[in-house]
């Protein structure tokens, strides 16, 4: 770009970011021709532009050059240019530039100028620089929420990076403050950059506390990328046992991802001390999940090393990782080893007390490959387990695939899942759900589907309840819709829900609706629920007594 055009664009960019006043914008524009011509002359001669002799002219030239550097979109180049331009700046010049730098609106460019000014200012007048940043550092430390892109944040970060030892000591002295960990992180990133072992040695010299713990976590994870076992060896820097246990699991997972054999050897070393709590579950889950992701055969062969109390969880962990790559092989292995595939949980997290949670293994298999998984399930002999496995498949595939799969279920299973299937189909295509229900014969399956669809329709537009009810034919369909209305309305207006329950013709369904209403009302306002129940003609004396006892439990 031609020097004159570059300078003009730079000045326009900077002036657009100024909030200090239009006088400065006008001032810079008036000096632009001088700066451009001087830069052009320097380029032609191959030498640096001469520095005007008067202090005012020197400042003008420096300002114009700084604005040109600020316009450079490449951060590293911008930093180099700013450093060179300010290499001879005096303290008074820096004090003049300071408010203008803070007025730049673009956060990244403002930070570049702030950093460059402070770097020079500390050299020529450390006391003056400290006084200039003090109001911004104080404001930053008082923030309850760190504001990204603010001038206070930029100043605090620049100062921490330019005075890392001092800033780290300040942070360690006030570990509970919000700003402390962030300041410490900026400082330690400058000290021994890319040398996590030396950073850990420095952190070990700090007093134990939140700052040391937070910074140690950051550095340990960096070290784990290079040497997981070295990172694990320095977990003594983490004082909190649960945090240390979680970090160990994560670090050993990284080890298993790069060196499964080393991770399994480490598991053997740790296994005698792995109790029934969260730490043992997390370590086992992390190592075997990552190992199975790399080499299933190796993970299966190592199952004998696992303590008995962790065997079920670790086996499920390996199968879950296997199912993502080859669901049929994982399901076949589980079946051949007499495991109930319909009940196996694929561990995804471990609670604080060691309880394992996650999705079903069969669900992960369907997610990995619906068609292959479904073919394997269909090949199983008829049984309640097969029905369960087929029902899980109703969550996957297109609407038509779900409806077709529904026909393969036993009548009992159809009645059990018809409502939930209606909900899924209605969420995808309500008219298609209505068409499907119209094909169902009267009975439990149709009633469950109608109730679920009517509930969805009422929830979408509560003002159209009567319209929804009238859309269903009188008889079992209308009763099912009234049951849906009772349940839906009871959460916000239980007294109104009573009217819908009373309109249900089928006595058994009406009784179910009233019992459901009583339970909902009890949790919403037990006093009002008791008053209603005591005066209600809709319950026998025996039923009232039973419900009132439940209310008091």
Output the six-digit token pair for 197.
């072992």
Whether the model clears a pTM of 0.85, i.e. scores above it, the answer is: no
Three-state SS at 274: coil
Query: Tens place of pLDDT for every residue, the chain, 553 residues?
Result: 444 333 333 333 333 333 333 223 332 333 333 233 323 333 433 334 344 445 555 666 766 777 666 666 577 777 788 888 888 899 999 999 999 899 888 898 899 899 999 999 999 999 999 999 999 999 999 988 888 889 999 999 999 999 999 999 999 999 889 899 999 999 999 998 889 999 999 999 988 888 999 999 999 999 999 999 999 999 999 988 888 988 999 999 999 999 999 999 999 999 888 877 778 888 999 999 999 999 999 999 999 989 998 899 899 999 999 999 999 999 999 999 999 999 998 777 665 554 556 789 999 999 999 999 999 999 999 999 999 999 999 999 999 999 999 999 999 999 999 999 999 999 999 999 999 999 999 999 999 999 999 999 999 999 999 999 999 999 999 999 999 999 999 999 999 999 999 999 999 999 999 999 999 999 999 999 999 988 999 988 898 888 888 888 7
HEC per residue, 250-263:
HHHHHHHHHCHHHH
In this structure, the number of other CB atoms found within 10 A of the CB of residue 32 comes to 18
* Residues with Cβ within 8 Å of residue 452, at least 6 apart in sequence: 418, 419, 420, 422, 423, 426, 484
pLDDT at 238: 93
pLDDT at 29: 30
pLDDT at 350: 63
pLDDT at 162: 96
pLDDT at 43: 40
Cβ atoms of 248 and 263 within 8 Å: the answer is no
Cβ atoms of 258 and 288 within 8 Å: the answer is no
pLDDT at 193: 85
CA angle 433, 438, 439 (to 5 degrees): 100
- The position carrying tokens 């001390």 is 273
pLDDT at 80: 83
pLDDT at 71: 67
d(CA 85, CA 418) in angstroms, rounded, equals: 75
């Amino acid at each position: 770009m031609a020097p004159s055009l570059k300078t003009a664009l730079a000045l326009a960019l900077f002036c657009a970011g100024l909030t200090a006043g239009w006088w400065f914008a006008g001032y810079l524009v008036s000096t632009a021709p001088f700066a451009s011509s001087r830069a052009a002359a320097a380029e032609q001669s191959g030498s640096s532009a001469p520095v005007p002799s008067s202090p005012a002219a020197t400042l003008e030239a420096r300002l114009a050059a700084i604005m040109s550097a600020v316009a450079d979109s490449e951060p590293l180049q911008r930093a180099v240019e700013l450093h060179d331009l300010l290499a001879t700046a005096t303290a008074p010049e820096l004090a003049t530039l300071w408010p203008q730098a803070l007025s730049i609106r673009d956060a990244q460019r403002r930070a570049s100028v702030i950093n460059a000014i402070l770097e020079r200012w500390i050299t020529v007048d450390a006391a003056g620089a400290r006084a200039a940043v003090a109001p911004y550092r104080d404001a930053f430390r008082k923030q309850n929420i760190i504001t990204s892109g603010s001038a206070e944040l930029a100043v605090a970060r620049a100062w921490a990076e330019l005075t890392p030892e001092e800033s780290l000591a300040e942070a360690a002295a006030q570990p509970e403050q919000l700003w402390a960990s962030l300041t410490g992180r900026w400082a330690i990133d400058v000290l021994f950059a890319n040398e996590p072992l030396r950073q850990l040695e420095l952190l070990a010299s700090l007093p134990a506390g939140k700052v040391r713990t937070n910074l140690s976590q950051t550095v340990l994870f960096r070290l784990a990328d290079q040497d997981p076992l070295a990172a694990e060896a320095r977990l003594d820097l983490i004082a909190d046992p649960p945090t240390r246990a979680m970090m160990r699991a994560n670090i050993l997972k990284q080890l298993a991802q790069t060196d499964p054999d080393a991770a399994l050897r480490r598991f053997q070393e740790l296994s005698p001390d792995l109790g029934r709590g969260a730490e043992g579950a997390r370590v086992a889950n992390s190592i075997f999940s990552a190992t199975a992701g790399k080499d299933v055969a190796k993970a299966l062969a190592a199952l004998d090393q696992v303590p008995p109390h962790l065997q079920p969880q670790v086996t499920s962990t390996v199968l879950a990782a296997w199912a993502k790559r080859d669901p049929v092989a994982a399901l076949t292995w589980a079946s051949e080893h007499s495991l109930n595939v319909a009940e196996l949980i694929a561990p995804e997290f471990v609670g604080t007390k060691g309880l394992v949670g996650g999705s079903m293994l069969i669900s992960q298999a369907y997610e990995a490959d619906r068609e292959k998984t479904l073919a394997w399930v269909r090949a199983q002999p008829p049984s309640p387990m097969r029905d369960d496995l087929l029902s899980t498949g109703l969550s996957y595939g297109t609407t038509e695939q779900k409806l077709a799969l529904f026909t393969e279920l036993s009548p009992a299973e159809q009645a059990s899942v018809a409502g939930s299937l209606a909900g899924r189909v209605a969420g995808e295509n309500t008219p298609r759900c209505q068409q499907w229900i119209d094909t169902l014969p009267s009975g439990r399956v149709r009633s469950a589907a109608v109730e679920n669809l009517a509930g969805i329709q009422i929830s979408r537009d509560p003002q159209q309840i009567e319209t929804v009810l009238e859309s269903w034919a009188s008889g079992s369909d209308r009763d099912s819709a009234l049951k849906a209305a009772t349940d839906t309305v009871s959460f916000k207006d239980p007294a109104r829900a009573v009217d819908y329950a009373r309109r249900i013709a089928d006595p058994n369904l009406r009784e179910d609706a009233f019992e459901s209403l009583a339970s909902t009302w009890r949790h919403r306002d037990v006093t009002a629920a008791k008053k209603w129940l005591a005066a209600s003609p809709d319950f026998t004396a025996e039923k009232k007594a039973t419900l009132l006892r439940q209310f008091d439990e």
